[in-house]
């Protein structure tokens, strides 16, 4: 099973996304006057989802919200088959530690495919 990694490093996150052709985005319906909404990445070959209209945002806006919300990115470089993996999850580290204490292993090593962040 491929290992997931966790980072807060903007250069590492940006490089990971750019290798995959991904751009920073927000869920359009979650934007507010305070800035970007729920953070995601848009991938060029990903199917369009009607329930999650994404809007591209700048890297500056992405990382500002990322830092303000004390997020970390859990990601994989390769799939079990050795192909480039798009798996990523933006998490609140304190929530993961709390849930790992009461509910088993940390989510940062799970196989969840969610890409949401508050």
- Please write down the long-range contacts of 1-5, taking CB distance under 8 Å and 24 or more positions apart: 1/80, 1/111, 2/76, 2/77, 2/78, 2/79, 2/80, 2/85, 3/76, 3/109, 4/74, 4/75, 4/76, 4/87, 4/108, 4/109, 4/110, 5/74, 5/75, 5/76, 5/77
- Assign 2 a pLDDT band (cuts: 50, 70, 90): low
**28 found inside a domain:** yes
Q: What is the pLDDT of residues 13-24, one digit of tens each?
A: 999 999 999 999
Range(s) of the domain holding residue 73: 5-109
| 72 falls within a domain | yes
Count the domains in the chain: 1
pLDDT tens-digit series, residues 30-71: 666 565 678 999 998 777 765 568 889 999 999 999 999 999
In a domain, 115, yes or no: no
pLDDT tens-place string over residues 74-116: 999 999 999 999 999 999 887 655 444 443 333 333 333 334 4
The pTM score is: 0.72
């Amino acid at each position: 099973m491929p290992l997931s990694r966790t980072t807060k490093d903007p250069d590492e996150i940006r490089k990971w996304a750019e290798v995959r052709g991904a751009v920073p985005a927000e869920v359009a319906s979650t934007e507010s006057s305070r800035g970007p909404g729920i953070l995601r990445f848009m991938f060029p070959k990903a199917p369009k989802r009607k329930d999650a209209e994404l809007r591209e945002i700048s890297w500056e806006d992405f990382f500002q919200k990322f830092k303000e919300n004390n997020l970390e990115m859990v990601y994989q470089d390769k799939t079990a088959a050795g192909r480039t993996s798009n798996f990523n999850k933006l998490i609140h580290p304190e929530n993961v530690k709390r849930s790992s204490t009461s509910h088993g292993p940390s989510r940062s090593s799970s196989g969840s495919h969610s890409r949401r962040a508050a």
